[in-house]
Chains A and B, each alone.
Chain A
Amino acid sequence: MNEWTNTDREPDPLPSSLPGPTAPGLGEPQAEVEETLKRIQSHKGVIGTMVVNAEGIPIRTTLDNSTTVQYAGLLHHLTMKAKSTVRDIDPQNDLTFLRIRSKKHEIMVAPDKEYLLIVIQNPCE
């Protein structure tokens, strides 16, 4: 599975490894961010993607503002709760991924120290 995704992502050149072209700094990460998000969004059944900071404030989103704000606020709380739950049980453990499956769609949350990536997908046809 890892290999699979790696091959999927192969053609991305990391800006740091490239010598040469005069403007790697500013444009690249932004483009990379955009490109990653676009790639995720183009998966089958994906309804929306959003990136939220540690306080629950959305940074980037493909949905409309009110929906984004609602999702961000609620999922941020839930992620915090899930994380603290996992760590309460075993302090050396940590939350890596959170998937909430509902009747209509599946919400995937990838938490990090500072950010949260939220993807909403409709798994059924």
Chain B
Amino acid sequence: MAPKQKKKSSRRKKSPKPILAASEDMEPVNMESMGHPEIYPLVLTTKTQEIFNCRIDEDITDEQPYKLINKEDIFEDLRNRAAVSDFHPVKKIVQEYPGNELLLVYDKDFKYGLNFYLIGTEEGKENYLNPPEVSEEQEEYKEYIPEDVYIYKPPVSKPWVSLGSEKEIEEASVTESTKQITYMISRKRSEFGAPIKFSDQNASSVKDAYIECTAYPDKNFTLKQLEKDVGMQVIPQIKDISTQTKWTYPKNATTQYYPREFSEEEKETLKQSKPLVDFLNNASISVEIALQQNEITNTFIDDWKHLAEEEGTFGDKTDTHLKEYQSFTDLHSPTEKMITCVSWHPTIYGLIAVSVAVRLSFEDRVHFSGKLLLQPSLILFWSFSDPIHPQLMLESPDDIFCFKFCPSDPNIIAGGCINGQIVMWDITTHADRIENVKAGGSRSKKATLKPMFLLEPESNKEAMYIRHCAVSSIENGHKKVITDIHWLSDTFEINRMGSVFENRSGICCQLVTCSHNMFWDIRPQKPLTPQTTEKKKEENIEIPFDVPSTFLHLDLSWKPLTKVRLSKGETSLDHCPTKISLKEDHLLCKTQDKVLAQSKTAKAEEMNPYHNLESGMPNLLKPIDDFCTKFFVGTEEGEVIYTDWKMEKDPETGRLMPKKPVSLHTIHDGIVHTIQRSPFYDDIILTVGGWNVAIWKESVMTGPLLQSCCAPKRYTSGHWSLTRPGVFYIGREDGYIDIWDLLEKTHEPAQSQNICITMITCIKPWIFSSKQQFIAIADYYGTLHILEIPWTLSRPSTNEMTSINHYFEREVKHLEYVEQRKKIREQEKKEMEQEMAKKKVKIYQKSKEQMEAELKMDYESYLELEKTVLINLGLIKVTEKGSYSDVM
């Protein structure tokens, strides 16, 4: 009961409840203080609830939170369970209850403190069942009002009721739990204040001097860490080092030094010093041993390696024939033409130019001269991409027999005519047309190659006709056909005397032609003659007028710079040169001097120097002194002449005369039509003419190094191979080409191949790349054959050059030997003749007497002989023989 009451007191703030002592006979507590004196809160246990069928939420619900319970039931329960019964506290009320049924209300909200309450009066019951709501509220309000007014009651002393506070006091008070022990310590008074002595004492020595509480690892308190969370990271090994450095930045530094040297005197003194002598004596021994070792044999030679040829060959090694690649024929020409000269374009791949001439003899030419005038003579430009239509056609006044591209500018072409004129073309404006020629689509390409004026429909199918821009003067030029034309190298130039000067302009500006050997300069001469080209232009109407004015200054007024005549000695006849070979032709193949090349390139960036030619100033140019002005000439009669073009003053007449030829040899039986220097050796010359071939060396004037024997067919053209030093090609009059290989055979060609059915007129090989070499062969019927040179013929073998060199040296030696032998033979011959002469002289010196005596003796011996013969014949008797013999 007490906790129940306490609970009530704690919940109710407003109403302090008197705490009753816990007794069985206590007054049931009612809610009088709350204004409900009839309400008696109750706690009903589950058991009680089951007994009285007032189980919460089953019998007693929210709608009907009350139950009417009979009095007798309560009494019965009281009797059954006595103190345990829940109704025990309200037993009295129940006993006094007037009615029969008591109202038991479920106090769900614990409004009155407990989960049930009992209405103790009938009125209350009635009120509850039929509650007048308003009145209850009023009663609640009424309850608060009286509390505000406090009625003072003087305190009446009552017997002290222990409410448990003394317990608290008891708990809070401090009492002695145990009896305190008292100690009394006494000491003599005199001992107080005595000086104190402290001394050290080792604690461990005296037992019980100290008490310690040693620390020990108490297992109770040791924690074994079973888990540990650790973070790790892998880093590369690093090392920190620091030093102090000085920052240096790169800067240019130069050092100029000269080596220490001894002066001459010092050298002399040293030379005489003994140590040097001794040293040399000792050292030279070992040095000479080493030198001799090297001379004996080269110990480092890999014989195996040297046995084999060079790197792997391209294609079949056994294939040595020239393979036909392409051939070009001009199908549009009305008459039969022959090709006179062939030249590859120096820079453009696949472009080759041929000069064609009418295939008529001299008489026929005269006969048909009228017709020939109407037909243009042409140089055709063929390209590999278009075998039917020539790319360009250069026109000339007459048939061209030789022409050359200018080495410094491939757009300038110089050609020699049959009538002795030199013709010059400038195709700079058309250069781009021929440069970009590509394969295929000839018709469409022709559209772009159309000339400027589109009026002429037939020009679609024809190539461009380009007119020449200059011809030489007829009166001053050659009288015969020009058979050879060369551009002089741009490293030098020639003046009127024939002496050589350096060429400052850096371009090839001089020509030499061969019919009488004239030198021509393409620059304007000092007195500029008025132009006569307008007249010429008016003559030719159908040809386009865009002729460049490059050489207008030369047109028709071009005179040769100088002439070189080859006189035949005392007679007034001249040699008729057909071909020449100048020394500098070889230089053109080689690289030029760097300075000149630079100046050349600088000039090329400016406008074309050929458009801006100025006359030469030989006075200001530096003469080149040691230039070799000699050259080889081949003549119509088959002679090879080595002569000088420099003029010298004839002491007798005071005129300028050409020098006499240095050497003259008649080797060939026909016209010499090829003189060519080898591209590898600048003093080896090949001459082809008549029925044989000869190779010459420039310094050896006794004769040719090699002279072939008569061939079955005439040789009509020849050319060195451009890559193999010992190979040259000779064309025959029956359409065969002979390939000579000096390493194989020197007495006959190595191989012979048929190209066409007619005479070969020109052979020109050309290198396109290291793997591709072509040879252009022109024949008498006007067809140009392009053949591919096989690997074996184009690739030089190892040491080929040295081998050929050796061969030529041997030949030179042979010639020298022959010369010497000749001399010796002559000597011997002389000696023999002398002896013979001496012998004859001896006979005459004998005196007459001796002669008579000899005669007599002869006569007597004759008689003797006669006798023996007669005896043998039996005409004289034997007996007489003795007397005769006695006389003898």
Contacts and interface: CB of A to CB of B under 8 A. Distances in A.
A120 B527 CA distance: 62
Nearest to A57: B260
Among A58, A97, A123, the most chain B Cβ lie within 10 Å of the Cβ of: A123
Nearest to B275: A114
Given A69-B261, A108-B290, A36 B284 contact: yes
A63 to B, nearest CB: 14
A57 B262 contact: yes
A45 B295 contact: yes
B291 A60 contact: no
Contacts of A73: 259
A51 B261 contact: no
Among B280, B285, B298, the most chain A Cβ lie within 10 Å of the Cβ of: B280
Interface string B750-779: 000000000000000000000000000000
A82 interface: no
Contacts of B279: 112, 114-115, 117
B261 A30 contact: no
A4 B294 CA distance: 15
B298 A124 contact: yes
B276 A59 contact: yes
Given A44-B295, A73-B259, A110-B283, A59 B288 contact: no
A3 to B, nearest CB: 12
B334 to A, nearest CB: 62
Contacts of B282: 110, 112
A79 interface: no
Contact of A55 (B260, B272, B276): B260
A72 to B, nearest CB: 8
Interface string B278-302: 0111111111111110110010110
Interface in B711-739: none
Given A30-B272, A60-B267, A121-B291, A112 B283 contact: yes
Contacts of B295: 43-45, 123
B281 A40 contact: no
Contact of B294 (A57, A59, A115, A123): A123
Contacts of B273: 29
- Chain A interface main SS type: mixed
A60 B273 CA distance: 13
Contacts of A123: 294-295, 298
Nearest to A16: B274
Contacts of B261: 57-58, 65, 69
B291 A39 contact: no
Given A73-B259, A123-B298, A117 B280 contact: yes
B274 to A, nearest CB: 7
B275 A99 contact: no
Contact of A33 (B259, B277, B289): B277
Nearest to B285: A5
B291 A51 contact: no
Nearest to B294: A123
B287 A119 contact: yes
A37 to B, nearest CB: 8
Nearest to B806: A125
A59 to B, nearest CB: 5
- Chain B interface main SS type: helix
A112 B289 CA distance: 17
Interface residues on A, range: 35 or more
Contacts of A110: 282-284, 286-287
Nearest to A33: B271
Given A5-B289, A117-B280, A101 B274 contact: no
A18 interface: no
A53 interface: yes
B270 interface: yes
Interface string A89-110: 0000000110101000010101
A117 B291 contact: no
Contacts of B271: 29-30, 33, 59-60
A11 to B, nearest CB: 14
B290 to A, nearest CB: 5
Contacts of A37: 280
Contacts of B298: 123-124
B291 A119 contact: yes
Contact of A115 (B276, B286, B291): B276
A8 interface: yes
Contacts of B301: 124
Interface string A42-73: 01111000010101111110000100010011
Contacts of A23: none
Among A44, A108, A121, the most chain B Cβ lie within 10 Å of the Cβ of: A108
Nearest to A1: B289
A96 B289 CA distance: 13
A39 B291 CA distance: 11
Given A26-B272, A51-B280, A101-B300, A96 B291 contact: no
A88 interface: no
A55 B266 CA distance: 14
A36 B280 contact: yes
A117 B284 contact: yes
A32 B294 contact: no
A86 B294 CA distance: 24
Contacts of B300: 101
A97 B279 CA distance: 13
Among B268, B272, B282, the most chain A Cβ lie within 10 Å of the Cβ of: B272
Contacts of B285: 2, 5, 9
A32 B407 CA distance: 58
Nearest to B300: A101
Contact of B267 (A59, A65, A121): A59
Contacts of A2: 285
Among B260, B272, B288, the most chain A Cβ lie within 10 Å of the Cβ of: B288
Nearest to B301: A124
A16 to B, nearest CB: 10
Interface string A1-36: 110110011000000000000000010011011001
Contacts of A51: 276, 280
Given A115-B279, A117-B279, A53 B288 contact: no
Given A29-B273, A110-B286, A115-B276, 17 more contacts: A1-B289, A5-B289, A30-B272, A33-B276, A40-B287, A40-B288, A43-B288, A43-B291, A57-B259, A57-B261, A59-B267, A60-B271, A65-B261, A97-B286, A97-B290, A106-B290, A121-B291
30 contacts: A4-B292, A5-B285, A29-B271, A29-B274, A30-B271, A32-B281, A33-B276, A33-B280, A39-B284, A40-B288, A43-B288, A45-B294, A51-B280, A53-B262, A55-B260, A57-B259, A59-B271, A65-B261, A73-B259, A97-B286, A106-B294, A108-B290, A108-B291, A110-B282, A114-B275, A115-B279, A119-B287, A121-B294, A123-B298, A124-B301
Interface of A: 1-2, 4-5, 8-9, 26, 29-30, 32-33, 36-37, 39-40, 43-46, 51, 53, 55-60, 65, 69, 72-73, 96-97, 99, 101, 106, 108, 110, 112, 114-115, 117, 119, 121, 123-124
Interface of B: 259-262, 267-268, 270-277, 279-292, 294-295, 298, 300-301
Lowest 4 A-B CB distances belong to which pairs?
A: A110-B283, A123-B294, A69-B259, A117-B283
